[in-house]
Amino acid sequence: AFDQPWRSDLKLWEDNPAEYWALFDQMMNDLYANEMRIVPVFMWNWTQFPAMTGENASQMIADPNSDSYQLLEEYITEFVERYKDHPALYFYELTNELNLRADLDMVGRCSDGKSPPPPSCEPMGNFTTDQMIAFTSRLADYVRSLDPNHLISSGFSIPRPAAEHLQRTPEFSPDGPDWTRDSLAEFKKNLSDVHSGMDIVSVHFYNKEGYNTRLGI
Protein backbone atom coordinates (compact mmCIF):
# COMPACT_ATOMS: atom_id res chain seq x y z
CA ALA A 1 0.00 0.00 0.00
CA PHE A 2 3.00 2.30 0.37
CA ASP A 3 4.63 1.99 -3.05
CA GLN A 4 4.16 5.73 -3.66
CA PRO A 5 5.67 8.43 -1.40
CA TRP A 6 2.41 10.40 -1.27
CA ARG A 7 0.73 7.43 0.40
CA SER A 8 3.21 7.06 3.23
CA ASP A 9 2.50 9.93 5.63
CA LEU A 10 1.55 7.38 8.28
CA LYS A 11 3.79 4.52 7.20
CA LEU A 12 5.68 4.52 10.49
CA TRP A 13 2.40 4.39 12.43
CA GLU A 14 1.35 1.36 10.39
CA ASP A 15 4.71 -0.41 10.52
CA ASN A 16 5.93 0.45 14.01
CA PRO A 17 3.34 2.23 16.15
CA ALA A 18 5.54 2.12 19.26
CA GLU A 19 8.29 4.05 17.49
CA TYR A 20 5.77 6.45 15.93
CA TRP A 21 4.20 7.35 19.28
CA ALA A 22 7.59 7.55 20.98
CA LEU A 23 8.61 10.26 18.52
CA PHE A 24 5.28 12.01 19.03
CA ASP A 25 5.73 11.84 22.80
CA GLN A 26 9.10 13.52 22.43
CA MET A 27 7.62 16.30 20.32
CA MET A 28 4.73 16.90 22.74
CA ASN A 29 7.10 17.05 25.68
CA ASP A 30 9.47 19.38 23.82
CA LEU A 31 6.56 21.70 22.99
CA TYR A 32 5.48 21.84 26.61
CA ALA A 33 9.04 22.36 27.82
CA ASN A 34 9.28 25.38 25.53
CA GLU A 35 5.89 26.79 26.56
CA MET A 36 4.23 25.94 23.26
CA ARG A 37 0.95 24.16 22.54
CA ILE A 38 -0.28 22.07 19.64
CA VAL A 39 -3.42 22.05 17.50
CA PRO A 40 -3.28 18.59 15.87
CA VAL A 41 -4.97 18.17 12.49
CA PHE A 42 -6.36 14.67 12.14
CA MET A 43 -6.90 14.79 8.39
CA TRP A 44 -4.24 17.12 6.99
CA ASN A 45 -4.03 15.01 3.83
CA TRP A 46 -7.66 14.32 2.87
CA THR A 47 -6.79 11.27 0.75
CA GLN A 48 -4.34 9.68 3.22
CA PHE A 49 -6.66 7.17 4.86
CA PRO A 50 -8.43 6.15 1.62
CA ALA A 51 -5.01 5.64 0.01
CA MET A 52 -4.05 3.34 2.86
CA THR A 53 -7.15 1.16 2.49
CA GLY A 54 -7.52 1.12 -1.29
CA GLU A 55 -10.70 3.22 -1.20
CA ASN A 56 -11.46 6.78 -2.29
CA ALA A 57 -12.31 9.89 -0.29
CA SER A 58 -15.98 9.73 -1.32
CA GLN A 59 -16.30 6.41 0.49
CA MET A 60 -14.59 7.67 3.63
CA ILE A 61 -16.71 10.82 3.80
CA ALA A 62 -20.07 9.24 2.96
CA ASP A 63 -19.79 5.83 4.63
CA PRO A 64 -18.92 5.51 8.33
CA ASN A 65 -18.56 1.76 7.82
CA SER A 66 -15.88 2.15 5.14
CA ASP A 67 -12.41 0.82 5.89
CA SER A 68 -10.90 4.29 5.50
CA TYR A 69 -13.30 5.92 7.97
CA GLN A 70 -12.74 3.12 10.45
CA LEU A 71 -8.96 3.56 10.09
CA LEU A 72 -9.35 7.30 10.66
CA GLU A 73 -11.28 6.61 13.85
CA GLU A 74 -8.62 4.12 14.92
CA TYR A 75 -5.88 6.74 14.55
CA ILE A 76 -7.94 9.39 16.34
CA THR A 77 -8.67 6.99 19.20
CA GLU A 78 -4.99 6.27 19.74
CA PHE A 79 -4.09 9.95 19.57
CA VAL A 80 -6.81 11.25 21.86
CA GLU A 81 -6.45 8.53 24.47
CA ARG A 82 -2.71 9.20 24.57
CA TYR A 83 -2.73 13.01 24.69
CA LYS A 84 -6.09 14.24 25.97
CA ASP A 85 -4.54 15.03 29.36
CA HIS A 86 -1.24 16.35 28.00
CA PRO A 87 -0.67 20.04 28.88
CA ALA A 88 0.66 20.81 25.40
CA LEU A 89 -2.68 19.99 23.75
CA TYR A 90 -4.66 23.16 22.90
CA PHE A 91 -7.62 22.03 20.78
CA TYR A 92 -8.35 19.61 17.93
CA GLU A 93 -8.67 20.40 14.24
CA LEU A 94 -10.42 17.85 12.03
CA THR A 95 -9.29 18.74 8.51
CA ASN A 96 -7.09 21.02 6.48
CA GLU A 97 -9.46 23.15 4.38
CA LEU A 98 -11.66 20.25 3.30
CA ASN A 99 -14.41 22.72 2.38
CA LEU A 100 -12.33 23.88 -0.60
CA ARG A 101 -12.85 20.43 -2.16
CA ALA A 102 -16.58 20.19 -1.52
CA ASP A 103 -18.86 20.37 -4.58
CA LEU A 104 -15.91 20.38 -6.99
CA ASP A 105 -15.17 17.66 -9.50
CA MET A 106 -11.93 16.60 -7.86
CA VAL A 107 -11.88 13.34 -9.82
CA GLY A 108 -12.26 15.12 -13.15
CA ARG A 109 -9.77 17.80 -12.20
CA CYS A 110 -7.17 15.17 -11.34
CA SER A 111 -7.70 13.31 -14.61
CA ASP A 112 -8.57 15.56 -17.53
CA GLY A 113 -9.27 12.59 -19.80
CA LYS A 114 -6.38 13.46 -22.10
CA SER A 115 -3.97 11.06 -20.48
CA PRO A 116 -4.02 8.23 -17.95
CA PRO A 117 -4.55 9.63 -14.44
CA PRO A 118 -1.54 9.60 -12.12
CA PRO A 119 -1.61 7.15 -9.19
CA SER A 120 -2.34 10.04 -6.84
CA CYS A 121 -5.78 10.34 -8.47
CA GLU A 122 -6.85 6.90 -7.26
CA PRO A 123 -7.96 7.95 -3.73
CA MET A 124 -9.57 11.20 -4.95
CA GLY A 125 -13.32 11.52 -4.59
CA ASN A 126 -16.20 13.92 -5.13
CA PHE A 127 -18.49 14.93 -2.29
CA THR A 128 -21.14 17.52 -1.54
CA THR A 129 -21.21 20.13 1.19
CA ASP A 130 -24.05 18.24 2.87
CA GLN A 131 -21.94 15.07 2.93
CA MET A 132 -19.01 17.03 4.34
CA ILE A 133 -21.16 18.52 7.12
CA ALA A 134 -22.43 15.06 8.07
CA PHE A 135 -18.88 13.70 8.00
CA THR A 136 -17.29 16.42 10.13
CA SER A 137 -20.21 16.46 12.58
CA ARG A 138 -19.94 12.69 12.98
CA LEU A 139 -16.19 12.93 13.46
CA ALA A 140 -16.50 15.76 15.98
CA ASP A 141 -19.03 13.76 18.00
CA TYR A 142 -16.62 10.84 18.03
CA VAL A 143 -13.75 13.01 19.29
CA ARG A 144 -16.04 14.43 22.01
CA SER A 145 -16.94 10.91 23.09
CA LEU A 146 -13.24 10.35 23.79
CA ASP A 147 -12.43 13.81 25.15
CA PRO A 148 -15.23 16.20 26.16
CA ASN A 149 -12.79 18.75 27.57
CA HIS A 150 -11.10 20.17 24.47
CA LEU A 151 -12.68 22.26 21.73
CA ILE A 152 -12.92 21.14 18.10
CA SER A 153 -12.31 23.21 14.97
CA SER A 154 -13.18 22.30 11.39
CA GLY A 155 -9.87 23.49 9.98
CA PHE A 156 -11.79 24.98 7.04
CA SER A 157 -10.74 27.82 4.82
CA ILE A 158 -12.92 30.88 4.33
CA PRO A 159 -15.81 29.83 2.03
CA ARG A 160 -15.39 30.25 -1.70
CA PRO A 161 -17.18 33.29 -3.20
CA ALA A 162 -19.70 30.92 -4.85
CA ALA A 163 -19.90 28.31 -2.07
CA GLU A 164 -23.70 28.41 -1.67
CA HIS A 165 -24.34 28.36 -5.42
CA LEU A 166 -21.95 25.45 -5.86
CA GLN A 167 -23.70 23.61 -3.05
CA ARG A 168 -26.94 23.79 -5.03
CA THR A 169 -25.32 22.82 -8.34
CA PRO A 170 -21.93 21.15 -7.79
CA GLU A 171 -19.31 21.06 -10.49
CA PHE A 172 -19.92 17.33 -11.00
CA SER A 173 -23.71 17.69 -11.31
CA PRO A 174 -25.48 17.70 -14.74
CA ASP A 175 -26.41 21.37 -14.28
CA GLY A 176 -23.24 22.59 -12.63
CA PRO A 177 -21.12 24.36 -11.81
CA ASP A 178 -22.76 27.63 -10.79
CA TRP A 179 -20.02 30.14 -10.08
CA THR A 180 -22.43 32.98 -9.25
CA ARG A 181 -21.00 35.01 -6.41
CA ASP A 182 -22.84 34.55 -3.13
CA SER A 183 -24.54 37.42 -1.37
CA LEU A 184 -23.43 38.42 2.12
CA ALA A 185 -26.43 36.55 3.54
CA GLU A 186 -25.46 33.42 1.58
CA PHE A 187 -21.86 33.74 2.76
CA LYS A 188 -23.01 33.89 6.39
CA LYS A 189 -25.37 30.96 5.88
CA ASN A 190 -22.62 28.78 4.42
CA LEU A 191 -20.20 29.68 7.18
CA SER A 192 -22.80 28.83 9.80
CA ASP A 193 -24.00 25.62 8.14
CA VAL A 194 -20.58 24.05 7.62
CA HIS A 195 -19.67 24.70 11.27
CA SER A 196 -22.91 23.41 12.75
CA GLY A 197 -21.13 20.55 14.52
CA MET A 198 -18.02 22.49 15.54
CA ASP A 199 -16.96 24.44 18.62
CA ILE A 200 -14.66 26.80 16.70
CA VAL A 201 -15.35 28.53 13.38
CA SER A 202 -12.29 28.24 11.15
CA VAL A 203 -11.62 30.67 8.29
CA HIS A 204 -8.07 30.18 7.03
CA PHE A 205 -7.18 33.24 4.97
CA TYR A 206 -3.99 34.03 3.09
CA ASN A 207 -3.16 37.71 2.94
CA LYS A 208 -0.92 37.32 -0.07
CA GLU A 209 -1.47 38.96 -3.44
CA GLY A 210 -2.92 36.55 -5.98
CA TYR A 211 -3.08 33.56 -3.63
CA ASN A 212 -6.74 33.82 -2.67
CA THR A 213 -7.66 34.50 -6.28
CA ARG A 214 -6.07 31.21 -7.35
CA LEU A 215 -8.11 29.41 -4.70
CA GLY A 216 -11.28 31.05 -5.97
CA ILE A 217 -11.63 32.97 -2.71
In percent, the amount of the chain with pLDDT more than 70 equals 90
For residue 115, count other CB atoms closer than 10 A to its CB: 7
pLDDT tens digits, residue range 207-216? 765 544 544 5
pLDDT in tens, 36-54: 999 999 999 999 999 999 9
Helices (H), the chain: 11-15, 17-33, 48-53, 57-62, 67-83, 106-110, 129-146, 163-168, 184-194, 211-215
Distance from C-alpha of 172 to C-alpha of 60, rounded to nearest angstrom: 18
Residues 182-195, mean pLDDT to the nearest whole number: 97
Confidence at residue 216, expressed as pLDDT on a 0 to 100 scale: 52
pLDDT(186) > 70: yes
Reported confidence tier of residue 28, pLDDT bands at 50, 70, 90: very high
pLDDT single digits (tens) 112-167:
766 677 888 899 999 999 999 999 999 999 999 999 999 999 999 999 999 999 99
